[in-house]
Structure 1
């Protein structure tokens, strides 16, 4: 057992699926790690339950109106956990000297502020919030490099690449990075087949247990598009060295091809605890609670090209990455608005890529030389897409 004090870990998005996986791994190593900060968006009851189980120093609810309920709930449970509300409080806590590791798992652009705060403070940043890099990739990576922060990606695909490269930066000997995609619940369907799919069908992912927004992104293949942009920033590679293969078994999480003809791949069961254990323990390996991969039970590994005609979101992400500047921010913002409307039953599944394409056409890429410019593009794209919803509303 280690004689050092456990490292303090802030788990942002603690009530989501990645947060649950992170807390599971942390609980397996009480001598190494402790959950010192737990943060949630608006699910105060779930946050209170986690506080009782893990007894953090601080609990943060993003919704200011729920502060009193959080404070009173912590008091009623007899906990010494300090209550906080709002994103500014969260930014302060992740940048504090007593926070060692930050698990950034807040969904969407809402996670950007705390991700930047952790990067600027030089923390080990376990990054599951891909939207932060899509929206402001250069700013995040530059802040991390300047402060000496360690960014370890937690998405299974980027974590696989990280392991194959044994670092965050691709070197000159890397010829190609290939991200794998499960294909989602609608793999093999034509565009016409997708016109009537429901919310329930879209969130029923065949391999991964994820929140509704990410599940819909997987169904449209936008999730893979966002991951391409993320990989571009994480590993410093351009469009010509990035590719996607559909791999329905979800056992090969990504591949790296080198200039000598060698290809390295990382394989494992589809469980986020593996990536989180890599992030927490790196460069050491620690128990994740995930069993090993028995290839005799999985004798077939299949790969196919993605269908960008049926799933145009992937093509739109390629286009946004090629355009650069504010285009990825517009792509992400329009997609968040469209997916939210779909989950509310306001629009159909095929309206998601249509709305994103409209936003990219209406808001051409501009230079993205500051966070203010990117946030303005994000806001403009959201407003435009909200207005455009009227032309796509379901009967």
Structure 2
């Protein structure tokens, strides 16, 4: 069942206890996990003597936990029940088998995750791609090319459904052989920003949209930095494509480092404001990335499939493109025809070779091989 957890006492309605616990003011992720570790389940927590609860969380909070749920919580339970009756909607508890395994390892994993889509993706190897909402055209092209390459290599791409880099990464991942997960900062029944409504629908159809916030939770600025810990927490690593000096993407990168995840950054022009954040990350120890292979090689020990999926095909594609390029400028359509590559694979490989200094992009959509 989509709304149960694997504990022995679980039943079809067991999620209501989890939701009730999560809605008690003062019971956050950390204390909630401590209570569950001590008592085993929400049902056991609500059945515990006041003195036993007070020993863990104090007398005042113990009283709040044991008090009858307020009308707002009862209304949320009913709203959630209706939402779960819709195809593809899931409520994953911290004990649920579909809960992202890496996310359980962080300091403050959510007690509940609202998920729309294919929850099996949450157990697959994931890589986060984040960056500026006000991305440059080159930044969006980079995000698309890298996301497509990683998707084809078997990784699920995680991002935050924001405009700019996030949206570009999600869209490209959907075009690859893998898929994508969007971690949002509102209730799972709200799409923000509205311009990404169609994209959110596509992700819910073939990927997964995830939120820790209850249904109906509005757009608040404070939601998004907190949301970022989930993006990094469920991923093997985080790639920052473009970021200004004060970008929220740097928060995600910092959280990734604190969680023991790999941090990658794409360098850019020293004159570009959107490169400042990436350059700062690289100075602080993030791995400089010039091609998708740079990331796949780092992740290979933890994600064995990435080695086989990414290494040899990339070399083969590079050889085919170099042969197709010759030594005269060639347009993209001609390269696609000569190489036999589709648009997504061609774009990804052209970017990889451009960053490696093997070709240069000329005005008019032309490409030329660089002689060494």
- Give your verdict on TM over 0.5: no
TM-score, normalised to structure 1, is: 0.32
Q: Calculate the TM-score normalised by the size of structure 2.
A: 0.34
Question: Greater CA radius of gyration, 1 or 2?
Answer: 2
